Structure 1
Amino acid sequence: MTSILQQQDTLLRVESFKPDNTSCTINEYLGQGGMKIAVIEKEGSEIKVYAAFANQTPGCAVSLAVQRIVSKSLSSAYSNTHTSTDTSHPMYTLESAGWEELAKVLPAYLKRILSPTTNDAAKAELLDTDEKPHSLEVMYREACRLLYLENAQRALTPDQILQYHRDVYQLRNLRLVIVGEHDHLPQIQNELDSFARLSLDPVRPPALDTIRRHALKETMVTTVEIPEEDESVGKILICFFGPDYVNMVETSAINILLEYLRSSLASRLMTDSADNETLGKSLTWDWMPQSQTVIRLWLMQVPTERLEVVEKRVTEILQDTADNPVDMHRMRECIQQEKKQDQLEAKTSELYFPYSIISEWVSDNGDDSTLRKFQSLSEYGTLEEWTGENWWAFLRKLMVDAHHVSVLGKPSRELGSLG
């Protein structure tokens, strides 16, 4: 093994396994410069490449600006590329007809990500964007500004944006996930090694090697105007910091707990008011897969004049819920429902493993953990042993006893007409 590691032109396969109850095989490679590559062998699958970088602040304005310039650089050269707009991290996708074509295209594709066009025209485009985010994006970006101090800076210069790109977009921060019918990665290792040698900086800037933990010192509630034609109803976003993404037990527990809370919280908000007025018509929970997860509660079609009242009522209902016994029959149903959904997605979803691997990478920052955590769903066995006291302790830690950020979306017809 030592001799292989010492060979500078060889990919090292460090992991190979078949996840339970699936037809795919996952192989893990380590390339030059710390680049990590996962190949998912899946029958009947076209070749797709997913690329993402660790250590990016979620929803960060400078990260979004870098994403724009990289996306423009890629789209100018390749028609079969796509950039996701995941708020936790940009992800770049390349489709290929086969391994032979991929061998020709991939090195140049990666070079454009690491070294996008940065002439004067490109720099001007960094600050001159015609982007018109929709109301939910406006609200989440405002929440990110309050959740992360790094996002407080609104005015950016091209030099700041390009420096951020140099700091974050490095090989040791790069994770590639390749999905294909067969694993022929070793056959294109020469192309990848040549790319890696050309891309290594003689003096590498310091990477952001520490996963930053965030804690709110106080609850913050703010109001922003959002582009909507109907000014009679607005939106509410409530955010809580959750557990580390790499904690498989607790992240699975989030899904189960949110499903348990969803129906009861929704029904009480729909009818629970002194004058029997509906307090909202749509409630959804989700959470963002980043190093420190963020739990988001969205309330839609809330009467504009009741936004503050409803936001406060949500926290009261959560407190009241934690003060009453857990319906363990209902909780067990939620556990089984979530487990079956996970099993189904692992079998059928093209994106299940690529997204899981990418999310693990951008969250874990490339420590010594392996992808073996995706081999089984053993975390559900642990959760089946949780008692009511365990569940409510988890609820109190995450939401009831924790500070949060709330963004009240006040509709503006004027902003809506500008979109």
Structure 2
Amino acid sequence: MLDTFENIETVRLKLGEFDSLGDTSALYEDVEIKVFGGIPNEEVLVGIHRYTKRRKEIIFGVVLDVIVSSEHRIQPPCPYFGPCSGCQWQHIDYSYQLIIKNKEVTNQFRAYAELSEINVQPTLPSPDTFNYRNHARFTVRKEGKLGFVNRITRRFVAIDDCRLMTAGINKILALLQGKVGETSQLTVRHGINTHEWLIQPIIKNPQVEIMTGQTHYRESLNNRLFRVASPSFFQVNTLQAEKLGKIVKEKCNLSSSSKVVDAYAGVGTFTAIVSEEALQVIAIEESGAAIKDAKINLTGLNNVEFIESKTEQGILNLSFNPDAVILDPPRYGCHIEVLKSILIKLPKRVVYVSCDPNTLARDLSFLVKGGYAIIDVQPIDMFPQTHHIECVVTLEPNK
């Protein structure tokens, strides 16, 4: 980290709690600032970085040296930790990362009176804490160098090996490094079970000896093959995604007569696993590319019906009230009209899968005020070494 923050002002600070982005807080010049690379209650030497955002000066700190260390501090294994900034928590032992993530979900719930007493289960750990990520988005700079941009300094850092990415992605990175100057961004997706890959965009440099420009790749989850097109969403942690699918199926409380709605179906990962035990599954998806993938992926499942529409329209147009609805929205959560459609159809179970505790708490508050009770809250770590956390929440109508 030192080489990124040369010749800047430094100050000794005592660190406060984590914020929702994984940084600690500290008081400096009578202002609370964010500090990267710390742990609460540590005393550290901080490099001060100042920048302007929307005509307002922002002060941000980065830990340069630790004076009084937390018992949870470890040596980050990645040489790019800090200058890269893609990981927030490599300096924290993994067992404590899981505790922090549980606290973050709990803290977001406490902002709402109706959620403040909800018990949050311990965070389920990831099978792999490094080399788990199957999707990389690289920035390309001079001489075709691949890397990432520091979120604080905006400086580009060339990367030869990323500890979060799968071995397959790091192999592709090595093959492409310094050879992709014809583009400014490069996406790589890799199937750990199929060894297939997708690289976008097409690279025409004759020095590149690997195929690029694929429109899709395939990956296997729970023994089913899934085709994933370039614009389609797919969980970045394959092994943990298999566990997530099993949890969602369990929480749906299925029987052979169950009618289920997968309300943000994507390429069909949840639809596939719940179809094994349900009578009927309705897969609703707004993205045409994802629906196309899902229809291929779920070929032969005669109890699955696809609806390409906005989620709220698909739910409201159902001719029946579903036994269970799976909600797996993007990070910004459910549109208010989706939540209203749930309160109209009143499914016996709602299983809400979220990657943002803040928007999750907001949406749960609406559902609870509308007559639902929260049965279970299960955090699951899809993103080790980062502040991100997945959560599966089960709800039932109040009796």
Q: TM-score, normalised by structure 2?
A: 0.28
Q: Which has the higher helix share?
A: 1
Q: Which has the higher strand share?
A: 2
Which structure has the higher relative contact order (CA within 8 Å, separation 6+)?
1
Q: TM-score, normalised by structure 1?
A: 0.27
